[in-house]
Amino acid sequence: MDSSLFLPLLVSCRLVLAIVPIPLINEFQHDHQLSSPLTSYPRLKEGLWLYQHDVDPYAGGVFRHSPLLLSLFSTVLPPLPVIWALCDIVGAWALLRIWRARQRVGKGSSGRDSLVAAVYLLNPYLLLPSLALSTSTFENTALLLTLMLASEGNRSPALLALAFTTHLSLSTFLLVVPVLMLLVSSPVSQLASPRPFAGNLMTACKYAGEFIAYWLVLIGAASIMAGGGWGWVRETWGASLTLPDLAPNPGLWWYFFTEMFDHFRPFFLMVFSVHLVIYILPICIKFQHDTLYVSFLLVGILGIFKAYLTLADPGLFLSMFVLFPEVYPYLRHPIVTTLLHTHASLLLPLFHALWVTEGRGNANFYYAASLVMGVAGGAGVVDACFAGMRIAIGDVVEGERGKWEVVQE
């Protein structure tokens, strides 16, 4: 098939999936692997009904979506499946633009364009949550738009998109530092020739002030107006830190805190939250020469340790692998990582059905599959870190080998 026709065909198929009724859509919407209490479509509908009947949706401890989504879907757009399909298409387009910025190629100048879009649109970890109408689709698209704008040097739109992304999902604060570094550096691959960070740190600090202004003043004020007060802060951002809803998910938090004694809970909540933060500085320092790769690795960290994890989180990390073909030859265990993800993707629905549907298992079954998913994500991040460091050594070795062959001749 002509590569120029493949991308429109992908887009058309995704729109058809949104229009044609899917028999299992109700099961998808209540599947713990595809949506969490913070991204669930049934909870979004409940919050919209309460909001439209002048009842505070944040008063009952059930609705945990952003007040901006509440305002958007109650006044501007109906929450129809086609909105999620268009959001997927925008996410694939943003990933494609990031690829072009990194490779310094123009529109239509690379035959890889269709592959980049296909990796996003056909990724089952991303497609199934989108079909379940999980709002994690909006979070991933907002994050890709942020990276796209930062890669293209559009400062103010990138900072505004970053503010919106962190508003939708507080855990994406991990990416604030690499995005600020990306704005004052280049997205072009520097993995093979590492050097100290060449960007202006003072300029990055000024951009940080602009980001805080957007996040607190613009996005924060709009959220207070839409939410009718400050109650949304506790139910949305606070939920990511205090874990009030222990619904099962593919992540590592819920089962641990189900078994936790109450008097130990605050301490371990602090430990789990700080644990996410400790990765920022080491990765930013080690890969300071390639800040887009830093963002990629931190997306992988979120895909393992996020409080309310869904398949969309590791799915974004796996799709972003397509941006870095230069590291493929240096991956140590790609087959092992692939098999781990395959194993986890089979175990999760199986053990979920045994425990929740059939009642023949227990929570240990499902958490065991979650651990396999965590190991798969960890294997991918560790392998990506190794390949990102090994590429520089490998290129040096190849260069010296070439010089030696010339001398021998």
Q: Could you give the CA distance from residue 57 to residue 42 in angstroms, rounded to a whole number?
A: 13
Q: Could you give the CA distance from residue 78 to residue 336 in angstroms, rounded to a whole number?
A: 43
**What 3-state class would DSSP assign to 55?**
coil
What is the pLDDT at residue 395?
A: 54
Does the structure show a pLDDT above 80 at 215?
A: yes
Give the CA angle between residues 395, 399, 404 to the nearest 5°.
150
Closest CA to 241 of 275, 263, 273: 273
* Identity of residue 321: F
CB neighbour list of residue 107: distance below 8 Å, 6 or more residues apart: 100
- Residues 108-145 pLDDT 10s: 555 678 889 999 999 999 999 999 999 999 999 999 99
Tell me how crowded residue 149 is: count the other CB atoms within 10 A of its CB. Answer: 25
Across the chain, mean pLDDT equals: 88
Give the CA angle between residues 115, 120, 126 to the nearest 5°.
155
Q: What is the mean pLDDT of residues 261-273?
A: 91
- Residues 279-333 pLDDT 10s: 999 999 999 999 999 999 999 999 999 999 999 999 999 999 999 999 999 999 9
Domain enclosing residue 113, as ranges = 3-408
pTM (2 d.p.): 0.93
Number of folded domains in the chain? 1
Q: Could you give the CA distance from residue 97 to residue 100 in angstroms, rounded to a whole number?
A: 5
Q: Could you give the CA distance from residue 318 to residue 26 in angstroms, rounded to a whole number?
A: 27
